[in-house]
Structure 1
Amino acid sequence: MIKRPVDDTLRVIKAILAPLEQRRIVDIGCGRGALLAGLAEAGARVAGIDPDAEALAEARRTAPSAILRQANAERLPFTDGAVNAALFVDSLHHIPVAGMATALAEAARIVEPGSDIIVVEPLPEGTFFNSMRPIEDKTQIRAEAQDAIAAAIKEGRLLLVATSEYDRIEAYTTVADFIDHIVALDPSLRDKALEERERVMKRFFTLAEYVKGGYRLRQPMRLHHLKRPAAGP
């Protein structure tokens, strides 16, 4: 088992992009806006795109200063070189495999030449992943996301600055809270979650770390810090 440090995605991104004051940052696949809110609080000028209207409605409450647009990552509603940085956080693997390369190219298009693109993806391992696996096994799609990043680097469309891995800690009071969290992220999994409830519970209690007041699961994350080539993507 690989030993990784525990870290927080917002903290890591803030450290890479510091100073954030007035930096124009786009979160591609922003979901409910938690990352946008954290970056805005640090002084960044933030925008988020997501194809899910309900998620964007929540993001408007979570990050009221953010510019929000309903759109797909394969066609971003921003002009060339409009922003200082683009982020994919736990979102690239949600894009259809055939569109991942286009989404990465779009991110390169909208950032200034030589500017930052950060891709953070969960790995298909760890106690969180293995606890949810009976409900949804994302082994293949997460591997496809890593392949898409590697291809963009190999072909020179993106330049690799650094990679790092860390464990994201997920805390739950009960196993029911864990299952509810999975379903909230993807309501289409509700029936599967009911069907596999016993298997999930068994895995959860076998794998989770018990701490006072609840349980902890670890989700390994891999971060790629990339840049758009100075001469263009």
Structure 2
Amino acid sequence: MWTLPAGDTVDILGGLLAPLQGRRILDIGCGRGSLLQALAERGASVAGLDPDEAMLEVAQTLVPKAVLKQGCAQLLPFGDTSMHAAIFLNSLHHIPIPDMLLALEEAARVVGKGGSVIVVEPLSEGSFFDALRLIEDETEVRQAAQDAIVRARRLGIVSEIRQIEYDRIETFADAEAFLERAVVIDPAREKRAQAARGKLLARFEALSDHDKGGYVLHQPLRLHHLKVPFAAKPASTSAMFG
């Protein structure tokens, strides 16, 4: 039985960061730009970072006004206090474990004192997670992401003002659509997905809820709304957004 309420990430972010009009928001690990597009449509001035150049090209087409840069979260190519908020949407656990804390510190630097750092991470539970485990078991890295947030809080890099858990519900036309979704997130999974194809299709069928819209999988998420304390070491003034 699913006990977490269903939630829409964009709606939740919109509420936490309202008003979005004119707010400078950085999406760390922006991928193809879906979140950038949603925030831009609500009036935010958006910037994105991703290590994959091909992903950035797609994102730039989707959101032409977005400021997009190729790079890594451990060394953000944005100035101190250049953003109002930085978001890790399902991306912190993709950063090498030794660098997760540094990535959070970098996010805190670019938003400055009083700025928001929001981390949305999938939990190691739910039917989506169970289906994905045949391709990649992310239990360790997902826990490491949660641990990095705790360390950042203990070190005074950020303080947590709100934590929200909710259920992301995804509907797929068929197992092939699920496979495509899993590989788009991380192209390195493709070989493993093909090698485990038969088992994966069977597990997807067994775990999915069926309705008239297709096959439904659930992924519980935990959102951390973090703030950079005003008592933190002052950030130097540098070039602003863009």
**TM-score, L = length of structure 1:** 0.97
Paired residue total: 233
Aligned to 1:213: 213
Aligned to 1:95: 95
Please state how far the C-alpha of 1:231 moved relative to its aligned partner. Answer: 2.4
Q: Percent identity?
A: 48
- Structure 1 segments of 4 or more deviating over 4 A? none
Partners of 2:144 and 2:21 lie apart in 1 by 35
Q: Which residue type is aligned with residue 185 of structure 1?
A: I
Q: Which residue type is aligned with residue 177 of structure 2?
A: D
* 1:1-20 correspondence to structure 2 within 5 Å: 3-20=3-20
- Asked whether 1:181 is paired with 2:178, we answer no
Q: For residues 3-40 of structure 1, what are the alpha-carbon distances to aligned partners after superposition, in whole Å with 9 as ceiling and x for unaligned?
A: 10111111110010000010111111111100011111
Partners of 1:191 and 1:112 lie apart in 2 by 41
Please state how far the C-alpha of 1:2 moved relative to its aligned partner. Answer: 5.8
SS state of the match for residue 64, structure 1? coil
Please state how far the C-alpha of 1:87 moved relative to its aligned partner. Answer: 0.6
* 111-120 or 220-229, which deviates more: 111-120
Aligned to 2:224: 224
- Flag structure 1 segments of 5+ consecutive residues without an equivalent: none
Q: Which residue type is aligned with residue 111 of structure 1?
A: V
- Flag structure 2 segments of 5+ consecutive residues without an equivalent: 234-242
Aligned to 2:237: none
* 1:54-93 correspondence to structure 2 within 5 Å: 54-93=54-93
**TM-score, L = length of structure 2:** 0.93
Please state how far the C-alpha of 1:132 moved relative to its aligned partner. Answer: 1.3
Q: For residues 81-119 of structure 1, what are the alpha-carbon distances to aligned partners after superposition, in whole Å with 9 as ceiling and x for unaligned?
A: 111111110000010011111100000001131111100
Partners of 1:109 and 1:187 lie apart in 2 by 30
Partners of 1:105 and 1:70 lie apart in 2 by 19
Asked if structure 1 preserves the Cα contact closer than 8 Å seen for 2:171 and 2:213, the reply is no
SS state of the match for residue 121, structure 2? strand
Please state how far the C-alpha of 1:186 moved relative to its aligned partner. Answer: 2.0
Asked if structure 1 preserves the Cα contact closer than 8 Å seen for 2:129 and 2:219, the reply is yes
Aligned to 1:150: 150
Q: Which residue type is aligned with residue 103 of structure 2?
A: A
Partners of 1:10 and 1:213 lie apart in 2 by 22
Aligned to 2:131: 131
